[in-house]
């Protein structure tokens, strides 16, 4: 292997790589082959303490800069990230197994977009003037929260680090980021780039480890805010721990999102949406539309075209740009997905295509489609986080809306129809935070991203994220005498 996947050290703290071999070893596995490509160590309490203390010191200085000065650093980081997109994408592919065809356009590029967007609006983060009666007035000051903790999932390591760091830093906070223990490599590059762009040492730190490191990080009293991207069970634990310390939270959690295809839809476009919403990143996308409700009148035509197009997936070396479908992130995740496929079969789902582990080293599985799935089946109720698409039939608009909403999750939803009145009417009634009409899974930084119900709290991206990384101080100014009752 010529590409260097072993980082200089496990952590990035106070502006430099840091190692403490006393931490539990953490092997990084390339999912396409099963090879160990790096060995890191989980953060010890000493490393964690240094990271939080360094972040505290850096934040005091950073918060005193103007938004313009902070934004300049973020925009420089975005430029560096774009210049290095190819190498960062290759590293992301090693970290996650996702095909280079994807990582070249959806990971560091999305991270750079976030740095550029929040870098560009940092100078405009102002308070407001409020005129009151009698000539009195008030004003508000938008202040940072302090040191934020970021906790990442393994599907979009660079994107997640940047979606959290960019708004946090733009608002004058510092961050201690803990990537997923499954994909610890890419966030270190984000930390390196921020330093090169002029961020003060300690502003953005990366510490490695699993929940045993994340737990103490969240609970540390020096942490003012916690932003987690992860599963609902982890979200419940992290939210509860943050609540103990009355901390701000953003929770970007899982989903079981509906994609509704009406009988007037373009079947070709709807199949594209279903593929994007189920097989991109081998199905490891939180917002995936894994319950594909297809109107009974077009169901067989839809299934035939879906099977035909799924057979065209290029499953192979993720580093070959022709490859369009990669492995699962890990053997553990592969086994979870295989378990769901078994349940789908046992509970009466009709296997249209896929369903098998691919017989080669690494964690490979075929893109899988089940038809005749009913609402009560396990594969229609639980988040699988793998390439398993379930097609459910429907006849009536009201009925499909009720069924689409009959879940604790509420991350995303999509509708395919040529009737735009119906599209807006249906979307308005769907209980989901990030919705799509005649499209699926777009996540531009300008648009708020996040879920309702169990899928999350708060929003990432867009101007909405600013509210989640800052707080308002309001100042009342009396222009006359102060009157008191005695
Ligand atoms: N809504 C979104 O934006 C979004 C994006 C990507 C992934 N996800 C969700 O993430 C899940 C898959 O990712 P995952 O398996 O890495 O999730 P996970 O919940 O297992 O882990 C997420 C992160 O939390 C850390 N963690 C685990 N236990 C912890 C604890 N007790 N205290 C503090 N930190 C702890 C993990 O080490 C990891 O860094 C799916 O449910 C998916 O839908 C959501
Ligand atoms: O995995 C969730 C976040 C996301 C959605 N689309 C791209 N990234």
pLDDT in tens, 59-68: 999 999 999 9
pLDDT at 356: 98
Q: 373: Cβ below 6 Å to ligand 1?
A: no
CA-closest residue to ligand 1 atom 6: 286
pLDDT-above-90 percentage for the chain:
100
Confidence of residue 2 (pLDDT cuts 50, 70, 90): confident
Query: How many Å apart are CA 180 and CA 347, to the nearest integer?
Result: 33
Q: How far is CA 383 from the centre of its chain?
A: 15
Are 413 and 257 a contacting pair, CB within 8 Å? yes
Ligand 2 atom nearest residue 160's Cα: 3
Most ligand 1 atoms within 8 A of CB, residue of 152, 181, 208, 231 to mutate: 231
Backbone CA torsion sign across 354, 357, 358, 359: negative
Ligand 2 atom nearest residue 434's Cα: 5
Question: Treating both helix axes as pointing N-terminal to C-terminal, what angle do 45-64 and 211-219 enclose, rounded to 10 degrees?
Answer: 50
Ligand 1 atom nearest residue 231's Cα: 41
Which residues, 6+ apart, have CB-to-CB distance to 239 below 8 Å? 228, 249, 251, 457
Q: 286: Cβ below 6 Å to ligand 2?
A: yes
Q: 287: Cβ below 6 Å to ligand 2?
A: yes
Per-residue burial over 283-301, b = 16 or more CB atoms within 10 Å of its CB, e = otherwise: bbbbbbbbbbbbbeebbee
pLDDT, mean of residues 19-40 = 98
pLDDT at 1: 52
Of the candidates 197, 144, 149, which has an alpha carbon nearest to the alpha carbon of residue 171? Answer: 144
Q: 163: Cβ below 6 Å to ligand 1?
A: no
Which residues, 6+ apart, have CB-to-CB distance to 40 below 8 Å? 7, 10, 25, 26, 28, 184, 208
Domains, the chain: 11-254+455-473 (3.40.605.10), 258-437 (3.40.309.10)
Query: Which is the catalytic residue, given 92, 102, 181, 252?
Result: 252
pLDDT in tens, 236-252: 999 999 999 999 999 99
Q: Ligand 2 centroid to 106 CA: how many Å?
A: 9
Q: Ligand 1 centroid to 268 CA: how many Å?
A: 34
Query: How many Å apart are CA 88 and CA 100, to the nearest integer?
Result: 10
Of the candidates 302, 322, 327, which has an alpha carbon nearest to the alpha carbon of residue 312? Answer: 322
Q: Ligand 1 centroid to 235 CA: how many Å?
A: 7
pLDDT, mean of residues 85-112 = 98
Q: Would residue 102 show up in a list of annotated catalytic residues for this protein?
A: no
Q: Ligand 1 centroid to 325 CA: how many Å?
A: 23
In the numeric block, the tokens 């919705």 are attached to 435
Model ipTM value = 0.97
Q: Ligand 2 centroid to 486 CA: how many Å?
A: 60
Which ligand gives the minimal distance to the CA of 382?
A: 1
pLDDT in tens, 380-439: 999 999 999 999 999 999 999 999 999 999 999 999 999 999 999 999 999 999 999 999
In the numeric block, the tokens 């004058």 are attached to 172
pTM equals 0.98
Q: 262: Cβ below 6 Å to ligand 1?
A: no
Q: At residue 147, what are phi and psi to the nearest 5 degrees?
A: -95, 125
Q: 155: Cβ below 6 Å to ligand 2?
A: yes
Arithmetic mean of pLDDT over the chain: 98
Q: 42: Cβ below 6 Å to ligand 1?
A: no
Query: How many Å apart are CA 433 and CA 449, to the nearest integer?
Result: 7
Q: 281: Cβ below 6 Å to ligand 1?
A: no
Strands 470-477 and 137-144, sheet pairing = antiparallel
Q: Ligand 1 centroid to 79 CA: how many Å?
A: 29
Task: Give the CB-side neighbour count of residue 396, counting CA atoms within 13 A.
Answer: 4
Per-residue burial over 143-180, b = 16 or more CB atoms within 10 Å of its CB, e = otherwise: ebbbbbbbbbbbbbbbbbbbbbbbbbbbbbbbbbbbbb
Q: Ligand 1 centroid to 101 CA: how many Å?
A: 25
pLDDT-above-70 percentage for the chain:
100
Question: Treating both helix axes as pointing N-terminal to C-terminal, what angle do 108-121 and 85-96 enclose, rounded to 10 degrees?
Answer: 120
Q: 218: Cβ below 6 Å to ligand 1?
A: yes
Confidence of residue 19 (pLDDT cuts 50, 70, 90): very high
Most ligand 1 atoms within 8 A of CB, residue of 206, 216, 230 to mutate: 230
Q: 285: Cβ below 6 Å to ligand 2?
A: yes
């Amino acid at each position: 292997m010529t590409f260097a996947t072993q980082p200089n050290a496990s952590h990035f703290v106070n502006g430099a790589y840091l190692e403490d071999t006393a931490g539990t070893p953490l092997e990084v596995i390339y999912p396409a082959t099963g090879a160990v490509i790096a060995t890191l160590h989980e953060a010890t309490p000493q490393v964690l303490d240094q990271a939080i203390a360094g972040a505290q010191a850096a934040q005091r200085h950073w918060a005193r800069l103007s938004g313009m000065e902070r934004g300049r650093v973020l925009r420089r980081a975005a430029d560096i990230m774009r210049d290095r997109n190819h190498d960062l994408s290759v590293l992301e592919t090693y970290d996650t197994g996702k095909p280079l065809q994807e990582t070249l356009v959806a990971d560091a590029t999305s991270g750079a977009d976030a740095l550029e967007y929040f870098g560009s609006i940092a100078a405009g983060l102002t308070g407001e003037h409020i005129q009151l009666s009698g000539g009195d007035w008030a004003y508000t000051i938008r202040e940072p929260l302090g040191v934020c903790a970021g906790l990442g999932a393994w599907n979009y390591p660079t994107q997640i680090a940047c979606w959290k760091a960019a708004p946090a830093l733009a608002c004058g906070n510092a961050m201690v980021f803990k990537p997923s223990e499954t994909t610890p490599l890419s966030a270190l590059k984000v930390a390196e780039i921020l330093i090169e762009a002029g961020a003060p040492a300690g502003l953005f730190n990366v510490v490695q480890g699993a929940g045993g490191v994340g737990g103490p990080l969240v609970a540390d009293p020096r942490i003012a805010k916690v932003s987690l991207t992860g599963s609902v069970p982890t979200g419940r634990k992290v939210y509860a721990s943050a609540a103990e310390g009355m901390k701000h939270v953003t929770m970007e959690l899982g989903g079981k999102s509906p994609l509704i295809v009406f009988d007037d839809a373009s079947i070709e476009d709807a199949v594209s949406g279903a593929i994007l919403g189920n097989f991109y990143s081998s199905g490891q996308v939180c917002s995936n539309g894994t319950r594909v409700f297809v109107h009974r009148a077009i169901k067989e035509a839809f299934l035939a075209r879906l099977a035909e197009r799924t057979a065209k997936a290029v499953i192979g070396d993720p580093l070959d740009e022709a490859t369009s479908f990669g492995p699962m992130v890990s053997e553990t995740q592969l086994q979870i997905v295989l378990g769901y496929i078994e349940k789908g079969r046992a509970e009466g789902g009709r296997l249209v295509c896929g369903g098998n582990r691919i017989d080669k080293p690494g964690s490979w599985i075929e893109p899988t489609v089940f038809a005749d799935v009913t609402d009560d089946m396990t594969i229609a109720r639980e988040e699988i986080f793998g390439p398993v698409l379930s097609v459910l039939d429907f006849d009536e608009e009201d009925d499909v809306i009720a069924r689409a909403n009959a879940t604790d999750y509420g991350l995303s939803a999509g509708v395919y129809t040529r009737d735009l009145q119906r599209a807006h009417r249906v979307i308005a009634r769907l209980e989901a935070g990030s919705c799509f009409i005649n499209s699926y899974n777009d996540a531009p930084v300008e648009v708020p991203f996040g879920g309702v119900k169990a899928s999350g709290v708060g929003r990432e991206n867009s101007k909405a994220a600013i509210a989640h990384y800052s707080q308002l101080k309001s100042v009342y100014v009396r222009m006359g005498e102060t009157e008191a009752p005695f």
